[in-house]
Every structure is written in structure tokens, then in C-alpha cells.
Structure 1
Amino acid sequence: MDAKVVVVGSLNMDLVARAQRLPRGGETLAGDSFFTVPGGKGANQAVAVARLGASVAMVGNVGDDAYGQQLRQALEVEGVDCQGVGECPGVSSGVALIVVDAASENAIVIIPGGNGLLTPESVQRFDALLQGSEVIICQLEVPIETVAWTLARGHALGKTVILNPAPATGPLPAEWYPHIDYLIPNESEAEALTGLPVTDQASAQAAAERLRALGAGKVIVTLGPQGALYVDGQGARHFPATPVQSLDTTAAGDTFVGGFAAHLANGFPINDAIVFGQRAAAISVTRAGAQPSIPYLAELAP
């Protein structure tokens, strides 16, 4: 059976340290706890799709180390199709070093490892997966030429193409925008893409309209506790967030993207898909870690 959603992106092992606050430059802090957990934006989003009700395949790379085996197994346990997950000999798997403070803010350093070797040719080998899908999701933790190829291919195939531009360090290449059906940045990513400050609904709308003017089909700016702003050719709509006590925001955006994509792939209207993604993300921030924080469909029952 074809997977309704294909995620082309990163797989990382997250090495997570919790401390009362984030260290300053040159400072050594005593931490509170440490754990390792499967992550990477691509893998997180694939797990979210699987847990939240849609079939999903992952296309990405791991290294030939113990982390690589664990990352693949973590996806397979969730029912993710891993035929497109390659192993790169002599290379480490991707690793994310994460520090989380008492206020649930985090600082992250990412070592790409095998993710950096995901080429357009690597993805093209699994073109049948793209052809059989309904929704294709990309992020920015793999080489930009691979993202560019996948966006263009997804558009050419007539699929629903989602780009979560994370991590964003500046504007996207202009030729990408017409290939994107849904561009889903958070506040800082929207700011990086447009150069406009994004702090509230009004500034988020200005940034989203700039991105649509560049060619993106529809834009959803996720605003954390301020909810999400959806902008299309008919205007803007704000979706308030579900109030929760936040423990760890790691993978909240990935959970939203995965839940949104799963609902779209299952034929739900856009508004319903946004609310569903928000409900899933609200649960995820009450839990620690990346993939362990992502809820299952049964937890979102009305």
C-alpha cells in the first residue's frame, strides 16, 4: 500500500541535557538530567504522521553506527516505511546536542552526519514513493539542493507540498516558492525568511503576506502560545492556542506539521487540519523529549 505522506528529511539522535538556565559563552553549568532520544525534524514529523493517523514513508540517511540502527528501529516500531532510509558507511548519524532550561526554552547544536549526504539522486531512487503519496513534507536539515529537487518534483507530480523552513537562516531561493503549497514557519523562521520582525498576529500576517507575494501558496505561521495564523488568497485567520503548562517545546513544531499533514492526507478541510495539529502540539509540550512527546491519535479523541 502506498504511503499517504512521504517525509524527505533528517534523522538525528538527540542528546538532551536539562539545566536551570542555558549557559553563557565560556561558562560551565551543573545540569539536572541527561537522556538520549530519537529526533531530527524529518523523523519527528514522520513519527507524528504515523501516530496521528496516516500512513507515512521516510526518505533520509543515517550513519553506520549504533545511533543509526536505533533511529531506524524507532521509526519501524511506529509503522513508518523505512525503505528510503539509507546507511552511509564511515559516517556518523546526525546528532543534536540540546540544552533545555527550567522555562522550557532550548538551545541546539546539530551535527549533520549522514543527513548531509542525502543527495537529489538519493531521493530520486525512491520516486515511486513520491508518486504514490498525497502529501510530501520537507525541512531544511538536509542539503538545500535536495530540498529544491524534492519540492520541484512534488509540485510536478501534483502532490500537496509542505515546507517547514527549519532551521531558517535567511531567505529561501526565489524559485522554491511556486513549488510550495503550504509554507509553515514559526516566528523566528518567518522573520529570517522575510527580514520582518514577527512578534504578534499583525506582524505575522505581514510576514505571511510577503511570503505569499513571493509565490508560496498558503502560509501558516506558528506562534507558540499565541496560536497560529493562516494566510491564503482569501485573507488571514487566527487559530488560538490551547492553554497548557509547557515542560519542553522540543518537537512541538514537528508535531504540528505531522498532525496537519496527516489530517490533510486523510481528506479533512484545512481549518480542521490546523486545529488538529495544534491540539497534538499542545499535548507534546507537556512532555519531555522529541519523539516521546508526540501523542497518539487516541489521545486526541474529542
Structure 2
Amino acid sequence: MKKIAIIGSINMDIVSSVMQFPEPGETVKGLEFRTCPGGKGANQAVAAKRLGADVVMFGKVGDDIYGKQALQVLENSGVDIRHVETCQGVNTGIAVIHVNKEGENYIVIQEGANKHVDIDYIKKIQPFLDTCGLVLLQLEIPMETVKRAAQYCAEQGIEVILDPAPAAPCDGQLLRCTDFITPNEGELKKIACEDDMEKGARKLLDAGVKNVIKKAGAKGCYFINRDRMDYIAGFKVKAADTTGAGDSFNAGFAVARAKGYEDRKALEYANAVGALAVTKMGAQDSMPTHKEVELFMNDLKRGRGI
């Protein structure tokens, strides 16, 4: 299996559960409160490791208690954190998350140390990236850093998977270096400036992306490239918290690619990982193991003839 490099954010999530989201100026009573390690990069690293991959995390934390806790969780999960740096006098990234009774969420990010993951850092870690066969990137670190990392990996023949979240304009330099881009509906609209899914995907392909994977939540996903457009159905589960859904999907797809799965099988696997993740509360705490995913998919094949 190829080693997976994940370059991205490491946060502490501050989570409040509520019956319903407040309107502007309204105060609502919270149901539960907790803190748990998060950040799209760290979430995807933990998820990929639980699925059995060899995972190296690249990023930065602050010199506060949250940074120590986040690194401890990554290390306890078996993720290689030797190249994660601690920024002195800087706070660790924070995500303030509200989750309603339907499992929907909204999130406010405070970047903290994540904004210090700069181009100089990418230059420093290049020799270690060379040992990896696949890199997973997101947009919770500076865009220029993402572009430089993608460009370097593309030049070295390292497969690039880009999770374009939070949504931001992606220029041609980045898109041309991307093997797979994995936006959800809202992200695709913002990045491609196009309401129609297929037209938006075609715009990204014309800009240089090799493959577009449009995540559709519980409905599954769409796979689009210049040769075809396929729909891969999702799995129906009772959602408790959708916070880590996208991260678990991306990790599942990356692990499946690292194992050499063909595209459709890899996306079925990613759908299953994402479905299982939303059945539990939290981001990293909800990530399933490879055994759980295999049992889940085998049970469905027997019961539904998938």
C-alpha cells in the first residue's frame, strides 16, 4: 500500500449541541458541550490510519494545551507526527461547532498555527514527501502553501487529492496539479461559479483537474472526468452528527486509492466510511476502522444485493 501524506490543519473543536440553531440576536439553551481534536487535516489523518493506512501528518500547532492534546490523539492513533511543528506564542487552530437535533452543523474557524504552515515549511518537508505515494490536501492552511505542495507532489509523480474545503477560488496552477478534487454541492458552485453540477465539473476539468468527485452526502457521490460521468449510491443510516462526514469520505477514498482499488470500488468504500462516521458524535471519535467498514459493506451486500 502507498504511504499517505496529509498536509493540513490541526484544530481543537469546541462543540455545542442544540435543539435548533439560533436566529440572529437569539439565545438558545445548549444540550451538550465538549472539546475534541479536529481540523480537516488531522481528521483525515486519524480516519486514514484507522482504515489501515501508513499515514504521515504535516502541519503546525500552537504552544498551548490544545496543541499538546491534538498531537497526543494523533500519536495515540498511530499517525506519524514527527514532522508536525509547534509555533511558539501562537494558539492552536480552533473550530467552534454547533450541532442541531438533525445532526446538521455550522462551524467557525480560528486559524491559529494553521496559517503558519507556509511555503518555507513545504520546502523543509519535501524529502519526506518523496517517500509517499499520495498526498491529501485541504484549504484550512494558506492557499499559496496548498499550491506549492500540490505543484511539488505533481512534479514528483505523487498523486494529489484536493478536498476544496472551506470553499475558496482555486486557480489553474493548483487545478492542473490535482488528480482528484472532491467538492460537495456548495463547494462546487463556489469554485466553478456554476449552479449546474455537470457544467461546474466540466469547468474544473477544462481548467486542468483530471477527475472530479462531487460529494452528495447521504445520496453518495458523482464521478466525472473527460470520458464518463458515474453515480455511486450512498448508504442510508441514521445520522447523529455530520461534522466529520466529508473528512471521513476523503480519507476513505485516499486509503482505497493507496490500496490500488479501481475508481468505482474506491468510491463505494469512501461512501461507506462517510456513512459510518455520521452515526456517531464528534469528528475524530466517529471515524470507523477498516474492519467496521468491511462488515458494514458485506452486511449490505448480503441484505440488499449491492
In the superposition, the TM-score normalised over structure 2's length comes to: 0.94
- Determine whether 1:268 maps to 2:261: yes
Partner in structure 2 of residue 278 of structure 1: 271
Look up the match of 2:57. Answer: 58
Q: Check conservation: 2:55, 2:79, Cα contact below 8 A.
A: yes
Identity %: 38
Residue 190 of structure 2 is matched in structure 1 by 192
Once the two structures are superposed, residues 190-232 of structure 1 have per-residue CA deviations (whole angstroms, 9 ceiling, x without a partner) of 01101122xxxxx322221221111101000001122100001
Give a deviation string over 1:78-125, Cα, whole Å, max 9, x none: 111101211000010000000011111111110011001111111221
The CA deviation at 1:3 is: 7.0
Partner of 1:120: 119
Contact 1:19 1:33 in 2 (8 A): yes
CA distance in 2, matches of 1:252, 1:137: 16
1:68 CA displacement: 0.3
Q: Secondary structure at the match of 1:261?
A: helix
Q: Separation in 2 of the partners of 1:58 and 1:238?
A: 31
Indicate conservation of the 8 Å contact 2:218/2:275, yes or no. Answer: no
Q: What residue is the counterpart of 1:200 in the other structure?
A: none
- Asked if 2 retains the 8 angstrom alpha-carbon contact of 1:7 and 1:138, the reply is yes
Deviations 1:254-279 (A, max 9, x none): 00100110111111112111111110
**Whole-Å separation in 2 of the counterparts to 1:81 and 1:123:** 17
User: Does residue 182 of structure 1 match 2:180?
Assistant: yes
**TM-score normalized by structure 1?**
0.95
| Residues in 2 aligned to 1:211 and 1:270: alpha-carbon distance in whole angstroms | 19
Matched, 1:172 2:165: no
| Separation in structure 2 between the aligned mates of residue 174 and residue 51 of structure 1, nearest angstrom | 34
Query: What residue in structure 2 maps to residue 13 of structure 1?
Result: 12
Deviations 1:272-292 (A, max 9, x none): 111111101000011111100
Task: Structure 2: state its 5+ residue gaps.
Answer: 299-306
Structure 2 partner of 1:48: 47
Whether the 8 Å CA contact 1:47–1:78 is kept in 2: the answer is yes
Is the Cα contact below 8 Å between 2:205 and 2:225 reproduced in 1? yes
Q: SS at the partner of 1:196? A: coil
Pairwise CA RMSD? 1.2
- Between 1:171-180 and 1:64-73, the stretch displaced more is 171-180
SS of residue in 2 equivalent to 1:282 = helix
Give the C-alpha shift of residue 10 in structure 1. Answer: 0.1
Aligned-partner residue type, residue 210 of structure 1: K
Partner of 2:74: 75
The answer (yes or no) to whether the contact 2:132–2:158 under 8 Å persists in 1 is yes
Q: Distance in 2 between matches of 1:136 and 1:5?
A: 6
**Distance 1:3-1:238 versus aligned 2 partners, 3 A rule:** closer
Partner residue, 1:36: 35
Q: Is the 8 A contact 2:2 2:134 kept in 1?
A: no
CA distance in 1, matches of 2:115, 2:104: 27
| 1:111-260 correspondence to structure 2 within 5 Å | 111-169=110-168, 171-197=169-195, 203-260=196-253
Q: Which moved more, 1:123-132 or 1:216-225?
A: 123-132
